Amino acid sequence: MNPHTRRAPSAIETSGERAAWTRLRQAVRSAGRWCALAALALALPMTAARAADIVIGQAAPLSGVLASTGKQMVLGGHLYFSHVNATGGVHGQKITVKVVDDGYKVDDTVRLTRELLANPDVVALYGFAGTSNVGKLLSDGVLEQGGAALVAPYTGGEPLRNPFNPWIFHVRAGYADETEHMVQQVTTLGMRRIAVMYQDDGFGKAGLDGVQKALAKRGLELSAAAPYDRNTDQVDAAVAKILQSDAQAVIMIAVNKPASAFIQRYREAGGGAQLYNISVVDPAEIVKLAGLKNAHGLGISQVVPYPYSPNLPVVREYQALLKKYAPEEHVNYTSFEQFLGAKVLVEALRRAGPAPTRAKVLKALETLGPYDLGGITVNFSPSNRVGSRYVEVTVIGRSGRLMK
């Protein structure tokens, strides 16, 4: 689709916003269509939605170390919500997503979520990022006080799953599932000296705990555990510690920039261990930042099926809508995961009826049962909020492409 042609209103558009769309078209010419979409997503939350709209709130890291991931998160929802709006909406109502940028900063996530939930029109939350960020919403009672469900957060942190809480509906497997799978693969290959490079926060510690428990099941201990500070790519101390450990495999619990910095510096320092990273990285970004020579061979755990081959109906649907609504963008695990989360949320909105409320949406989600998204099934119940435990490991190949 030509980005300069007129199209139907998108999921992040509200009525009477011709000026915003003028800015979008201007931004298209100067910075590319996706950058314009992200800018518009940030601008529109300040405007009023149509009275008949179904309003969803999303805090995403559109700036900071996780900015590229945040943009893919917003894109995944945009694809499906736009499709739903273009085909009649939900019970005749359009979906409007109020997107705010939390910069992957915990305090900003809490503040912005409180602001979103202060708007009574917001019936659900969708697609937040960060174990520590979402964990703070739980510990501060923000979700409970607001009475709204949070669907498809981009985190696998175990504290968000156990003990049980009624507010968060996970579409992805947890970090414990991912680390178990990676440790199983590594030990099957005969490796026994395993190290972890991790972000020093709730996210990193959740992954570290998962690796330690998986090793303990096999009578093994970590060779080294090397942290780095959140919201930085200062990994030199971690590189030195893991080089000294002589690990055969390194499992990284890290986001794009620090993971890339570690890979590059570790390889350039002569480190030869097999490297793995948990699912929250973008392989294209890793190759770009670390260099193909260094990134080649990196194993990445994945929590949704391979989105590059149209083998499943939902993958074909995702690829078609990506081509229609964001033709400059490429297939990406993060946008696909959030596309699946958007499908879950829309089905709950349908089941909630023509006048959805926070309570009705919550009830619809917890009674969803097994639900086929198009070759991928999620399952929620009053006692289960983890919809999927799917995990597989992919590898960055010689060409920089991701291979199964």
Q: How far apart are CA 267 and CA 265, in angstroms?
A: 6
Q: Decide: 55 and 121 in contact? Cβ < 8 Å.
A: yes
| Distance between CA atoms of residues 17 and 325, nearest Å | 19
For residues 339 and 39, what is the distance between their CA atoms, to the nearest angstrom?
20
The pLDDT of residue 46: 36
Where b means 16+ CB within 10 Å and e means fewer, 244-278 reads ebebbbbbbbbbbbbbbbbbbbbbeeebebbbbbb
DSSP state of 50: P
How much is the pTM?
Answer: 0.86
CA pair distance 283, 402, nearest whole angstrom: 7
- How many angstroms separate the CA atoms of 187 and 174, rounded? 20
Of 132, 128, 131, the closest CA to residue 149 belongs to 128
Of the chain, the end-to-end C-alpha distance in Å amounts to: 30
Closest CA to 182 of 201, 162, 163, 156: 156
Q: What is the dihedral of CA 285, 160, 101, 151, to 10 degrees?
A: 90
Give the contacts of 69 (CB within 8 A, at least 6 positions apart). Answer: 61, 129, 154, 255, 256, 280, 282, 334
Rg (CA), the chain: 21
User: What pLDDT score was predicted for residue 50?
Assistant: 53
For position 52, what pLDDT does the model report? 61
| Tokens, residue 165 | 């809480």
Q: Consecutive 10-residue runs of the chain (404 residues): their mean pLDDT?
A: 38 41 38 44 44 88 94 98 97 97 98 98 97 97 98 95 96 96 97 98 95 98 97 96 97 97 98 97 95 98 96 98 97 97 98 97 98 98 97 96 92
Q: How long a stretch of residues is the chain?
A: 404
- Dump the DSSP string for 290-316: H-HHHHTT-EEEESS--SSS--SHHHH
* The pair of three-digit structure tokens given for residue 312, joined into one six-digit string: 């499943």
Cβ-in-10-Å burial (0-12, 13-18, 19+) of 306 comes to: middle
List the domains of the chain with CATH numbers. Answer: 18-173+311-380 (3.40.50.2300), 175-302 (3.40.50.2300)
H helix runs in 147-282, sequence order: 175-188, 202-216, 236-245, 256-268
Rounded CA gap, 112 and 376, in Å? 32
In sequence order, the β-bridge partners of residue 249 are 194, 274
Contact 120, 53 (CB under 8 A): no
